[in-house]
Amino acid sequence: MKMRLLILTCGILISAGCAHQNLTLVTRGPSPAYTIVRPANASASQKYAAEELQAYTEQLTGAKIPIVTDDGPLPARAILIGETRYTTRLLGGNSNVAALGDDGFRIKVAPPHLIILGGPVRGTLYGVYEILERFAGCRWFTTWHSVIPRIDTFTIPVIDETQRPAFAMREPFWFDFFDGNLAARNKCNGNSMRLTEKHGDRIRFGGGLFVHTFNTLCPPDEFFDKHPEYFSEINGKRVKEHSQLCLTNPEVLKIVTERLLARIRKDPTARLFSVSQNDWHNFCTCPSCKAIDDREESHAGTLINFVNQVAEAVEKEFPNIWIETLAYQYTRKPPKTVRPRHNVVPRLCTIECDFAQPLDRSAFEQNKKFVDEIQKWSAITDKLYVWDYTTNFRTYIGPFPNVLALQGNVKFFRDNHVVGLFEQGAYQGRHGDFAELKAWLLAKWLWNPELPAEPLIKDFFDGYYGVAAPLVRQYFDEVHSFHTNTAVNPLRIFEDTKNPTIPDNFYVRAVELWQKAEQAVKDSPVHTYNVRMGSLPVLFAHLERLPPFDEIKVWVTKDPQHYGVPQEHRNIATEILARFNEAKNIRISEGSERHEQILARVKALANPPPLPSAQASAIVEDTVLSLGQRGTWGDTVKDPLAEDGSAMKLFNTHYEWCTTLPFSRVAFDPGVKYRLRMRVRVEKETGKNGDAFWAGVYDSKNKKGCGGVERKTSAVEDGYAWYDVAEWVPERDHYFWIGPGRFDKKGGATSAIKALYIDKLKIDRLD
C-alpha cells in the first residue's frame, strides 16, 4: 500500500513539475494528430476500451481519433491501448503486464506517445476510464446522469503511474450499479453487475450457488422424511423447518459434495461457489456437532470443518475454484484451531453493527465484538470476504445518515486483509436515502480507500445537484450530526424512521430546504429530477412524524367530516406519489409486504375516497379484522353458513387474542356509548365440554378491559348466533379482540372445540 501511494505521489509531482511537456491529444477544430493503437489480438474489453476512448473524446472535443491495430507501423503520435508490440520497447524493455493482474493498469507518457497498459481482462479498460475521468473531467454518477464537459483541448500531463485495486472483488450492491456500463466506468467487477465480455465479465458465483445454500444442496423436502438425521438436532429432536444441516453426518457431506461438483461441471468458468448456512439460526446440537463446536469454542468449528472437506474434494477436479461460506450470526466467531483451507473463502457479515460511525470507532458493543472477530479471522486466512450493509432495509426511503462511516469501514476492511467486499444497499429500486451518492462513493473507495472524502463528496454534489448543491449539502451536514452517542443510540440497518434521535423540527426545516433546492434548479430538468428524488426521504420522514392518521375501515358516526384526511397529510402524500410516478422504480422497503402496505397507505392519504354519510350502525365483515400469525392461528375461509360466504376461522391449537379490530380504524363519536356484538359459530368437539370462546374490548393505554364475554360449549347455539360483547364509551386506544376458548396446553385436557368461525361484528350508537 505504501509503495502504491508513493507511485501515485510521484506521478502527481511529475505532472505538476513538467507542465511544459504535457501531451495535447486533441484540439477542437483540427483533425486529430493522435491515433489509438490496440493489439491486433486484443480482447473484447481492450477493443471496447479503444472504442470508449474514441467515443468520449469525440463528445468532449468534437474530434474523432482514429483506431488502428498494432500490425502496422507505429504512428508518429500514438495512444497505445493494452500491450501492443511497441509497448515493451517504449517502456525500456519491460512492460511486466502480468504484475498488473486482471484489473491493474499503468499510465505513462513517453513523448510523443501515451501508453495505457493493462491486461486483457479489465485493466486496460479501467486505465482508459482513469484518463477520461481524471484529465478530461468525465463523471459517471448514475445511469441517467453523467457529466461529459465540452473542452477545447484534451491534455495529459507527463505521468508514469501504476494503480492496482485495494480489493480483488468490488461490489456496490445498489440498484443502479447493476448496470454493466456504470459499474465498469467506476471500476467495479462484482458478481451481481451486468458485466459482459466487453466489460471484462464478472467475478462470478456459479451454479446458482450464492450464499444460504444448505437447503439448495441438501433439500429438506427431498430428504427429511426418510433421513431426518441429515438435519439439525434441536432440543433432542431433528427439525425440518428452518433447519441447518448436520455437519458431522458423512452422508450429508457426500450429498453436498456430489451435488456441488455436478453444478461446477455445468458452470466451470465461474470462480466462486457457495456452501453456506441458511438465513436463520437453528444450528445442529447433536453430540457429534456439539463436540466439535465445544472444542472450537464456536459454531464455525463444525462449519469450517465441513466446508474444508467439501473444498478438498473440489480441488482435486477444479484446482482454481474457491468455495465461499458465511461467517454470519452464530458462525461469526472464528474457530479456535480449525483453519480454512487455501481454497475456502469465509465471508464475515456486519449485520448486527452500528453504521453511524466506522466499525472500529463506534462505541456500540456489537462493533467492538465484530472488530475482534475480523482481526482473528484475518490472522487465519488470506481469502477473507465481507458482506457489509449500507442502507436501512426497513425503509430504504427513510433518512439513514451513514455516509461519513463508509470510507472508514472500507479502510478498516482493507487493513484487515479483506480481498472481496460486497456493499449491500437499496438493491431493489432507485432513490433510497442518498442512494446514488453512497453507491458512487463506495465504487471509488473500493478501488482506492485513500481518496479524500471531501473532494469526492463536493464533486458529486456539484455535478449531480447543480446550483442546488449548497442547499443539499446543508441538509446533508445537519442530518449527519445527530447520531453521536452510538453506545446508547446506534444506527442499525432496520432503523425506525420515527426514532427521535433525529428530531421532528429538523424535518420541518428540511422540507423547506429541499423546496428551495428545487426552486434553484427549476431551469435544469436533470438537476430538478435529482433534487426531487433526493427530497423523498425527507418527505417520507415528515409524513411519518405527523400525528398518526389510520385509514378508517368502519364508519359509525354522525360527523364523518371529523375523520377526513388532514390537508397536510394529503399534501405530503401527494408529493411522495408524484415522485414515485416520475421514477417508476422506487422501492420503499426490502420486504415486499411492507412495501405494498406503505404504498397503499400513501395512496389512501393522497387520494382518500369520498366520506360516507352519517350513520348510527355499522356491520364489520370478517375481512376487515386483523389476524395474527395467519396460517398458524387461523385463516380466512369460505363458509356457506356465513351470510356473505366468508368467515375467519380460528384453529383450536391456541387461545390467543389473535383477531382484533383497533378503534383507531373506526370512525365513532367521542363521549358516546356504543354496543358491540359478534356473529360467530362454534364447531364443537364431540363429547367434550369446555370453553368455546372469549372476547372483549381492551384499553391498551390504561391496560384494562372495557367489557367482554365468555361462553362454554354447553352454552353456545349450533350454527351462527349473535352474542353481545360490550357496551362502553370507545376511545382510539381501545380494540376488540377474540380468541378460541382457553384450555390446558401443558397436558391433560385439550380444546373443547374444533374451530371458531367469525362471520361479522355489529357496532351501534346507543344515544
| 176-204 per-position pLDDT tens digit | 999 999 999 999 999 988 999 999 999 99
Q: What's the CA gap between 657 and 700, in Å, rounded?
A: 13
- Burial class of residue 189 in the structure, from the number of CB atoms within 10 Å of its CB (0-12 exposed, 13-18 middle, 19+ buried): buried
459: region left, alpha or beta (phi > 0 left; psi from -120 to 50 alpha): alpha
| CB neighbourhood size of 651 (10 A) | 18
CB 626 within 8 A of CB 661: yes
CA distances to 191, 362, 413, 708 from 409, in Å: 21, 11, 6, 56
Q: Could you tell me the CATH superfamily of domain 2-164? A: Chitobiase/beta-hexosaminidase domain 2-like (3.30.379.10)
Class of domain 617-765: mainly beta
CA distances to 88, 181, 190, 269 from 202, in Å: 29, 12, 6, 11
Domain boundaries, the chain: 2-164, 210-319, 350-608, 617-765
Q: What's the CA gap between 23 and 108, in Å, rounded?
A: 11
Residue closest to 253 by CA, chosen among 303, 321, 324, 326: 303
Residues 379, 385, 389, CA angle at the centre, nearest 5°?
A: 120
Q: What's the CA gap between 335 and 300, in Å, rounded?
A: 6
Residues in the chain: 767
Retrieve residue 10's grid coordinates. Answer: 510521484
Q: What ranges in 162-272 are assigned the alpha helix state H?
A: 180-185, 214-217, 220-223, 250-266
Residue closest to 65 by CA, chosen among 143, 131, 163, 20: 131
What integer pLDDT is reported at residue 7 of this predicted model? 34
Q: What's the CA gap between 201 and 180, in Å, rounded?
A: 9
CB 568 within 8 A of CB 511: no
For residues 651, 656, 658 and 661, what is the CA-based torsion angle, rounded to 10 degrees? 130
Residue closest to 19 by CA, chosen among 157, 156, 161, 159: 157
Q: What's the CA gap between 354 and 359, in Å, rounded?
A: 7
For residues 730, 734, 737 and 742, what is the CA-based torsion angle, rounded to 10 degrees? -110
What integer pLDDT is reported at residue 93 of this predicted model? 83
What integer pLDDT is reported at residue 746 of this predicted model? 58
Sequence-ordered list of residues with C-beta below 8 angstroms from that of 723, at least 6 positions apart, any chain: 677, 678, 679, 680, 695, 709, 711
Q: What's the CA gap between 170 and 447, in Å, rounded?
A: 7
Instruction: Output helix, strand, coil percentages for the chain, rounded to the nearest 5.
Output: 35, 20, 40
| 282-328 per-position pLDDT tens digit | 999 999 999 999 999 999 999 999 999 999 999 999 999 999 999 99
Q: What's the CA gap between 196 and 65, in Å, rounded?
A: 25
CB 488 within 8 A of CB 500: no
* Weakly modelled stretches of the chain, pLDDT under 70: 1-20, 746-749
Q: What ranges in 65-213 are assigned the alpha helix state H?
A: 87-90, 123-136, 180-185
Q: What's the CA gap between 739 and 658, in Å, rounded?
A: 6
Query: If you ran DSSP here, which 8-state letter would residue 73 be given?
Result: P
Query: If you ran DSSP here, which 8-state letter would residue 682 be given?
Result: E
Q: What ranges in 318-400 are assigned the alpha helix state H?
A: 365-378
